Chains A and B, each alone.
Chain A
Amino acid sequence: MTALLEVRDLVKRFDTGGLLRGPRAVVHAVNGVSFELAAGETLGLVGESGSGKSTVGRVILRLTDASAGSVRFGGVDVFGLSAGELRAIRRRMQIVFQDPYSSLDPRMRAGSAVAEGLEIHRLLPSAEIPGRVAELFQEVGLDPSFSAKFPHECSGGQRQRIGIARALAVDPAFLVCDEPVSALDVSVQAQVLNLLADLQRRRGIAFLFIAHDLAVVRQLAHRIAVMYFGRIVELAPTETIIRTPLHPYTQALLSAVPEPDPARQRTRIVLKGEPPKPMAPPPGCPFASRCFHPMKNERCVNELPPLRAVGESQVACHYAEYSLQPSALSHQPSASNPQTPTPNP
């Protein structure tokens, strides 16, 4: 069965500088990203700032033009579509943004925002639109009376739900979630994450879940891809990557995630050295300047490691087979064996 989404060798360059604007430089925000996504699956895309993860989402949706590479959606070459064809296919691929405050038009009522997709694609006669909008509000857990509210009258969590309803209105098969819960309070994050999980179950939507928080991504993702400096450095099923990370960067990332249990604090890997400058990508592995792998050597500095299969995972490291054992990096359980507290039912 062909995958719903096929991304091959995606590259996005930004040119900065030039005439009167400073030295000319090229930044490769995305530098050769490939992956596939099956229908109803969630791929988590994790990375820190500057990794290029948000850009990947936008380029796939052609909200920004790619510099190179291809994206096939349902077998169709997205980059080759005309404006009209692109508009039609946009129904099936939607996006939810990070900032609930600026992702809604401040001058538009929630109901109109949600109805916009229906109007653009003429999916329903105008008499039936309010009814569908009310259904959508209920589906995202909002009372239909929210239709009349302006964004500034709603809380962050409510706005995010409105944004999700807006995306759902056109019945997409694929949803790019660009840090959808990062700007929300902890108690609201859980609500929205559960909502997304329910939507996937009910509607069979595939998600590209972009985030910097591995624990959050773990909740929804079937597979996780870790990005560093514009490339995917590791791609594996969720539990595999969390229990046995093979790439040193993934290991560092996992060890840095705060552990909400004082008795089970991990030995943290503290990265030394500076990340490479975006304008001057090194010829070899971009992580070499901070890598702590015992076998790191000249080859790493000069030769870019390709993304290759190692067991269940795909890893971009010359020495992935010789990765540090996970137990050296994982929790130090304490003698008193604390149980993580569970809420009363």
Chain B
Amino acid sequence: MIGSLGGLLRRAWTHPSGRWGALALVVLALVAVAAPPLLPDPAEMPDAVLGATPPSLAHPLGTDQLNRDMLARVVVGGRISLSVAVLAVLLSLTLGAAVGLVAGYAGGWVDAILMRGVDAALAIPRLFVLLLLLVVWEHIPLGALILVIGTTGWFATSRLVRGEVLRLRNEPFVTASEALGATGWRTIARHLLPNAAGPLLVAATLGVGDVILLEAGLSFLGLGVQPPTPSWGGMVLEARPLIVTAPWTAIFPGAAIVLTVLSVNLLGDALQAALDPRGA
């Protein structure tokens, strides 16, 4: 399975947009992980008097309204956004794959019950659920944010996986496995899951983009990550009064959001294309 996954990634690499998307993401991830210790602590020394300064040698992306280094803030904010996105998507993936696999393989009333449940859940807008949490909290703590986004994002994935499982279930190689005496669990784990993994991976990649936007939106509304912790959405919110006088305070975090989501989508597209001309 690893071998064929490698083949998939290799083919995505030859796709031009896939290459750029992947590269950009890798750079982003590296920067998010490795850079912060090298940069000035964004929380240090807020200086409201000096205020925002345009990009310069000392501050390549300028400083924000409290004279904190923008570059550092964007990077740390990126770290937060990416972690939320990745963790939430992982959670959705797991839940969606589990439900989709079981529903698709078991069929019958198990499938019916699970899928009707999914249909009902899909009818509830995700943002509303998140906003409901505000009844409990004034703003949503990071952990809860990840949990809630993750547990509300798996429905579409489960339908996707279920569709793949239904298609695969009738393939002779699955019947062959049953004929050899494999249990249902073994068939699911060794045959259905690896073959459904491709579309799952594509969906996950695109999901990351969605979650980044969602988190940015929440932070922009003041409901997500709270200052002084930097987050791209939050930075755009704080930059609103400065849009005319210090546009860089909004442009850079905004550009970061766009770039990340774009890279993720490009990568997802390339993965999708790599999946199609598969030999089998």
Residue in B1, B172, B186, B278 whose CB lies within 8 Å of A102? B172
Is the C-beta of A103 less than 8 angstroms from some C-beta in chain B?
A: yes
Q: Does B108 contact A (CB under 8 A)?
A: no
Tell me, rounded to whole Å, the shortest Cβ–Cβ distance linking A164 to chain B: 11
Q: Given A63-B175, A101-B280, A107-B195, do A90 and B180 touch, yes or no (CB 8 Å)?
A: yes
Q: In the complex the two chains form, what is the Cα distance from A52 to B186 in whole Å?
A: 30
Q: Is B279 an interface residue (CB 8 A)?
A: yes
Residues of B within 8 A of A120 (CB): 180-182, 186
Chain B binder among A91-99, A219-227, A273-281 = A91-99
CB <8 Å contact, B3 and A109? yes
> Is B178 positioned at the interface, with any CB of A under 8 Å from its CB?
yes
- Residues of A with C-beta under 8 A to B177: 105, 116
Q: In the complex, how many residues of chain A place their beta carbon closer than 8 angstroms to a beta carbon of chain B?
A: 33
Find out whether the CB atom of B280 lies under 8 angstroms from the CB atom of A91: no
B194 contacts chain A at the CB level, 8 A cutoff:
yes
**Chain A residue nearest in CB terms to B174:** A105
What residues of chain B lie closer than 8 Å to A105, measured between beta carbons?
173, 177, 190-191, 194-195
Closest to B192 in A: A105
Closest-CB distance, B196 to chain A (whole angstroms): 10
| Distance, CA A152 to CA B183, complexed state (A) | 26
Give the Cβ gap from B165 to chain A, nearest Cβ, in Å: 14
B4 at the interface (CB under 8 A from A): yes
What residues of B have a CB within 8 angstroms of the CB of A116 in the complex?
177, 180, 182, 190
Q: Confirm or deny: B44 has a beta carbon within 8 angstroms of a beta carbon on chain A.
A: no
Look across to chain A and name the residue whose beta carbon is closest to the beta carbon of B197. Answer: A107
**In the bound complex, what is the Cα–Cα distance between A87 and B173 (angstroms)?**
17
Q: Choose from A94, A103, A109, A153 the contact partner of B173 (Cβ within 8 Å).
A: A103
**B57 interfacial contact with A, CB 8 Å:** no
Decide if A152 touches B278 in the complex (CB within 8 Å). yes
Would B280 and A151 count as touching, CB distance under 8 A? yes
Let me know if A103 and B278 touch, CB within 8 A. no
Question: Are the C-beta atoms of A152 and B279 separated by less than 8 Å?
Answer: yes
Interface size on B, residues (CB 8 A): 24
- Whether A63 pairs with B181 at a CB distance below 8 angstroms is no
Partner among B1, B181, B186 whose Cβ is within 8 Å of the Cβ of A108? B1
A63:B182 contact, CB within 8 angstroms: no
Give the nearest-CB partner of B1 in chain A: A107
Alpha-carbon separation in the docked complex, A54 to B127 (Å): 52
Q: By the criterion CB–CB under 8 Å, are B280 and A106 in contact?
A: yes
Those of A104-118 within 8 Å (CB) of chain B: 104-109, 116-117
| B278 and A166 form a contact (CB under 8 A) | no
Interfacial chain A residues near B172, Cβ < 8 Å? 97-99, 102-103
Given A101-B280, A151-B280, A152-B278, are A106 and B4 neighbors across the interface (CB < 8 Å)?
yes
Interface residues of A in 145-176 (CB under 8 A from B): 150-153, 163, 166, 170
Chain A neighbourhood of B190, CB < 8 A: 105, 108, 116
Q: Are B1 and A87 in contact (CB under 8 A)?
A: no
> From residue A100, how far is it (CB to closest CB) to chain B in Å?
9
In the assembled complex, B138 has its CB within 8 A of some CB on chain A: no
- Within 8 Å CB of A151, what residues of B? 279-280
Determine the chain B residues whose CB is within 8 A of the CB of A121 once the complex forms.
181
CB contacts (< 8 Å) of A98 on chain B: these are 172
B171: A residues at CB distance < 8 A: 102
Q: Is B176 close to A, CB under 8 A?
A: yes
In the bound complex, CA of A170 to CA of B172 (Å): 18
Residue of B nearest to A178 (CB): B172
Instruction: Find the A residue at minimum CB distance from B173.
Output: A105
Q: Which residues of B contact A (CB under 8 A)?
A: 1, 3-4, 171-173, 175-183, 186, 190-191, 194-195, 197, 278-280
List 16 A-B residue pairs with CB atoms under 8 Å apart, sorted by A's residue number: A63-B179, A90-B179, A95-B175, A101-B280, A102-B171, A102-B172, A103-B176, A105-B190, A105-B194, A105-B195, A107-B4, A109-B3, A120-B186, A150-B4, A152-B278, A153-B279
Given A108-B194, A120-B181, A150-B279, 19 more contacts at CB 8 Å? A58-B175, A86-B181, A87-B181, A94-B180, A95-B176, A97-B172, A98-B172, A105-B191, A106-B279, A106-B280, A109-B3, A116-B177, A120-B186, A150-B4, A151-B280, A152-B280, A153-B279, A166-B176, A170-B181
